[in-house]
Amino acid sequence: MSGGLPDERVEQLVALLTRLATGDLSARGSTSPAEDDLDAIVLGVNMLAEELEASRAELERRVRERTAEFERLNHDVMQLAELGNLLQACADADEAYAVIGHGMRAMFDGLSGVLYRYNASRNLLELRSQWGELDQPDTVTPDQCWALRRGQQHVVDATSPALSCRHVERRTGDSVCIPMAAHGETSGMLHLMGHESEPAPRERWLTEDRRRLGVAVSEQTALSLANLELRETLRTQALRDPLTGLYNRRFVEDWIGRETSRADHSGRSLGVVMADIDRFKRFNDANGHDAGDRLLQAVAEAIRRGLRHGDVPCRYGGEEFLLLLPDLPADQIVVRAEELRASVGRVRVEHQGLPLPGVTLSAGVALYPEHGATAVDVVQAADRALYAAKRAGRDRVVVAG
């Protein structure tokens, strides 16, 4: 070859460049023992190959990290969606808190946490769900938590816990408190803590990703619980009398139809008691409607205390109450009605600091199907028996028929 360079050296350089061009970044060239003019080119190519190989390794590392991050994010999103779906299907708050505890353990595996909710008076937060290794108090006051006082999440580094919340009794790592808010109102607080003592794996650290997930979970959970409570409130308003808390007439008319059908199939009985406060209008006129409402509440409470689990008390209208007593023989229904009559006779209430006079109760008793072939018939039979008790002098129990 002209220029004093052997063809073999040129071919080696061309082969090196070809391997690098096809993606083999591990290829390296060798210098000549004779130290020819191609040695500088070979050394330069080797340096370039080393830089490219290092860059590719770093790029591959970043791709792996980003892929793992996307996989974690996708996993978190799916778990968050599953938690939301389960909460929407919950029938009551107790069921929802059990679902939350299960979901939190799955999403924050390796961490500990608690969920607090405000009580009805909004002066305390009560522990509703707990997971992991934390030993937290059952109740927390709002001023014990920096997040609730500031209205934003509060992160504490385990290495400098100077601003740790007072409800944290034992610190095992970084922690975050996140206010839970729905419909513009703070309803509770989510508290998460890591366990970072050596040799704790990274899964037990409270990372920034997990803090962000905690914010998303608190928003999802707060909204779901608020919707559940609203649904429960609307259901209660639809089924309960707002003054006494007893079932309303609409609920009982639906319930008694189902219960008489069940009695037809099982051969069991259904007792019906129609009761009425004697001379309630006279009481209202003498003491005022507020006093009358107070008396109705006290009578309803006396009736509720005197019933079994499964009995159904209803405010049927005004001062009239309907009681449904399944699976009791006739003589026991009469005994129960007499006990309720005596219990109401002992009711004493005060209004505006003054004692109110006592009242008496009259009641009519009917049994399905003995006193009526349908639900409507048996209720009417109990109502006729009630009026018979009124005509007989009040403050007594009369059996239909």
pLDDT tens sequence across 356-385: 999 999 999 999 999 999 999 999 999 999
How many Å apart are CA 52 and CA 20, to the nearest integer? 10
Using DSSP, state whether 339 is helix, strand or coil: helix
Mean pLDDT over each residue of the chain, to the nearest integer:
88
Based on the residue annotation, tell me whether 319 is a catalytic residue of this protein: yes
pLDDT tens sequence across 28-75: 877 777 666 677 787 888 888 788 888 887 777 887 777 777 777 677
- Comparing 169 with 59, the larger pLDDT belongs to 169
Rounded (10°) angle between helices 39-89 and 7-21? 10
Class of domain 249-399: alpha beta
- In percent, the amount of the chain with pLDDT more than 90 equals 51
Instruction: Write down the catalytic residue from 319, 320, 338, 350.
Output: 319
User: In whole angstroms, what separates CA 246 from the centre of its chain?
Assistant: 25
**Cα angle 305-310-315, degrees, rounded to a multiple of 5:** 60
Establish whether the linkage from the previous residue to 6 is cis, with ω within 30° of 0.
no
Q: What letter would DSSP give residue 30? A: -
Residue spans of the domains in the chain: they are 2-68, 103-235, 249-399
Topology (CATH) of 103-235: Beta-Lactamase (3.30.450)
Q: In what order do the strands lie in the sheet with 139-140?
A: 139-140, 125-131, 112-118, 185-193, 175-182, 154-156
How many Å apart are CA 389 and CA 357, to the nearest integer? 22
Beta carbons of 318 and 284 less than 8 angstroms apart? no
pLDDT tens sequence across 240-273: 999 999 999 988 888 888 888 888 877 788 999 9
pLDDT of residue 197: 67
Average pLDDT over residues 300-324: 94
pLDDT of residue 138: 93
Average pLDDT over residues 297-319: 94
Q: Out of 5-9, 134-138, 230-234, which region has the weakest mean confidence (pLDDT)?
A: 5-9
pLDDT band for 2, please (50, 70, 90 cuts): very low
pLDDT of residue 84: 87
pLDDT tens sequence across 204-218: 788 888 899 999 999
Q: What is the pTM of this model?
A: 0.59
